Amino acid sequence: MHLINRRQFLQWSGALGGGIAAGALLPLPSLAQKESLSKGENEEMKWAGCAINCGSKCPLRVFVKEGKITRIETDNTQEDEFGAHQVRACVRGRSSRFKVYNPNRLLYPLKRVGKRGEGKFVRISWEEAIETIAQKLLQVKEKYGNEAIYVNYATGTTGGIMSRCTKGPWARLLAQFGGHLNYYNSYSTAQITDGLKHFYGTSAGSDIANIAHSKLVVMFGNNPVETRMSGGGTGYSYKEALQKSGAKIIHFDPRYSDSMVGACDEWIPIAPGTDAALIAAMAYVMINEDLHDKAFLDRYCVGFSRETLPDSAPENSSYEDYVMGRGEDQTPKTPEWAERITKIPAQTIRRLAKEIATTKPCFIAQGWGAQRQFNGEQSSRAIATLAAMTGNIGMLGGNNGARETSTLSIDPAWLPSKNPIKDSISCFLWTDAILHGEEMTDIKDGVRGTQKLKSSIKFLWNTGGNCLINQHSDSNRTAKILEDETLCEMIVDINIVRTPSNRYADIILPDATHLEQEDFIRASAGYSSDRPYVIYCQKAIEPLGECKGVYEMCTLLAERLGGESFKAEFTEGRTQVEWLEHLWNQTRAKKPELPSFEEMRQRGLYKAPRAKKPKVMFEGFVQNPEANPLKTPSGKIEIYSEELAQKAATWILPEGAKITPLPEFINTKEGPLDPAREQFPLQFFGYHYKGTTHSSFWESAPIREINPHEAWINPMDAKARGIKTGDRVLVFNRFGKIIVTAKVTPKIMPGVSVCHQGGWYKPKNGIDEGGCINTLTTLEPSPIAKGNPQHSILVQIRKV
């Protein structure tokens, strides 16, 4: 294997020596100092952006001298007044120089020489790499059909247009090659996407800037300050809106997150996966005390009461029937019933139910953590039901219970691609499609576009992502699937560094970073609230080694697959920059106020005016539901879903899985009431951390040093196990074992433990020493969305 020798590394990095340049981590100068700050001698500044999928897409100023990046700073344009503020990147974006000059950087095409998963590769030429890929692609197409070709879900370059991992050049090339198997949903949002689609017809919420007009804010597992923490994210908007309104803030979350620091009146710890039980108990109090908004429920909703049930619904099947104990289980959902499940005292549930019901406007929102459970579709619908019961939908300062979205966006047109194949799987079920794709059906596996798949996956593309192993579930089982060359016959990985995922590739192609090519960064791929912007990467340096951008890779492959005619069809005679100009001009045709392409190339960063009013979801519907119906079958809010009732009656589900037309609490495997807790007593999940974006930046040693990989454990649970902060602990269950460092803290509730997701999978003697939380997660999907239930984990922890 040949990646880079020490002398080459020092030459390219400017003697970086494995650390981050001090300037990359220093705070920005004050406005007074900024004017006197000048570029160094012979130093040039280029604009670029951070394309990683953190929920923010921030501008970077890249300083270059003699073809090498010397330092990276962030936005210094405008003043620091909110609404006309600097979009300052966090430490991750500012550390991008280390990503470019990483000793682990991929610089040449590589070919596997050992068994899959051993990580043994040799350097090959681009000609050999393209020839090998083309031959196998043609062979798979002829033998199995285009349905056997799959581009795996990934988000490592989600902000780019031409560098975009799954919807960019690869998708266009393969569509023109005859198509490929599609995927739907995402690892992040499958359950809430499908859950709220059946509830509202969409999973979009109001802008978080509405909080400036709120009297009360109620968050369920929502952590914008930590997950979208930069100047381009909603974390900044959230804090600014709170200052304006002075609203009271209540957070329901098993973990005390950064969003609560200095901005939380009440933290209510709740057992993971029990949100629907809490909402049912709140509903019980509201109904008993006549506090729910009956006028809103009767006019805008289906199925809260018997009177609004559809004709197809059986007797006693309304949400009110379920809550009051008249439904199938004959159990009133009292606060005492919920206390046993949620671990929230009954008196607290009663008090909060009354407060939420009687305070308007109330901004009710959920993060994506609450829905990443086996019963996540139920939790997402239940939280939305709370917004409906209190009548906070469609009003300024309120929200519909979904996660916040942006008011405005500037989204350059995408590279055109029309896949002729309609067959589609849940993005989480690609390992099933490798194992037994021909057996996967619509009613058993959620296959869309067809009743049954025509082929298993035989050719797998993994570009700009680490979901082959690290971010997928049950890492040990997934590794065995990938190692079997009789299943998937070729795996091609495209990345900028060596990762756990590309250990399982047959061919690895070295990608150019966002600092080494021209591209747009779509800030709308993040959550910019009511202040949109767009970044043009000006190409700070030439790609290192033999790295190429994916558009160039695809152009080479197109020529090998079909000669000059196919290459011409793919490129339409345009270079990468000419495509960017073409796509930007399409955008300007709809938004003529935008600058010209040449102006964007020169200026690098464009900030649009701030919205005068934040987006209020369903405002038109509430004002006139007949003229502005929702995208549900009834046109109304469907607390009772006939579509889900039909699926419950016809779908084939695994043992223990359940679909209901109402947002009921459903106990699940790996849940709080699972009998397996006798052996694995702690609920466990992975949270999004400021030191990594999913698994990106884990390869940065300085970032890891200041953001250590720790498992949080409550003092009560730690004392029972003889664990102290700093101890190395073994976290294990029926799927696997990981070793991490313990952090004993009351910021996690008893009976629950967490560690941040993104640690790189490094198995040794049956134990993952990299602390990858997905070593502990299951490949079984949620019942409706067939989504990723990676927060449903039961474990035991002991001191090593």
User: 488-539 pLDDT, tens per residue?
Assistant: 999 999 999 999 999 999 999 999 999 999 999 987 666 777 878 899 999 9
Is 95 within 8 Å of 69 (Cβ atoms)? no
Q: What angle do CA 670, 676, 682 make, to 5 degrees?
A: 65
Listed residue (153, 641, 644, 190) closest to 376, CA to CA: 190
- The predicted structure's pLDDT at residue 523: 72
Instruction: Provide CATH 2.40.40.20 ranges for the chain.
Output: 675-799
| Residues of the chain under the 70 pLDDT cut | 1-39, 524-526
Place of tokens 């047109």: 413
CA distances from 304 to 78, 140, 191, 386, 638 (A): 50, 52, 22, 11, 9
> CATH 3.40.50.1980: does it fit domain 191-405+631-650?
no
Which DSSP letter does residue 764 get?
A: E
pLDDT of residue 86: 87
Burial of 295 (0-12, 13-18, 19+ CB in 10 A): exposed
Distance CA 530, CA 688 (A): 24
521 — phi, psi (to 5°)?
-105, 120
What is the number of other CB atoms lying within 10 angstroms of the CB of residue 121? Answer: 24
DSSP state of 419: -
**pLDDT for the residue numbered 319:** 98
Q: Give the right CATH number for 675-799 from 3.30.70.1350, 3.40.605.10, 2.40.40.20, 3.40.50.2000.
A: 2.40.40.20
Residues in CB range of 772: below 8 A, 6 or more apart: 470, 475, 500, 738, 759, 760, 761, 762
Query: Given this model, what pLDDT does residue 33 score?
Result: 41
From-to residues of CATH 3.40.228.10 in the chain: 191-405+631-650
Q: State the first-to-last Cα distance of the chain, in angstroms, to the nearest integer.
A: 35
Alpha helices (H) in 211-271, listed in sequence order? 224-227, 234-245
Rounded Cα–Cα distance for residues 520 and 411 (Å): 9
Is the separation of the CB atoms in 676 and 794 below 8 Å?
A: yes
- Residue 623: the pLDDT is 98
The rounded Cα 209 to chain-centroid distance in angstroms is 21
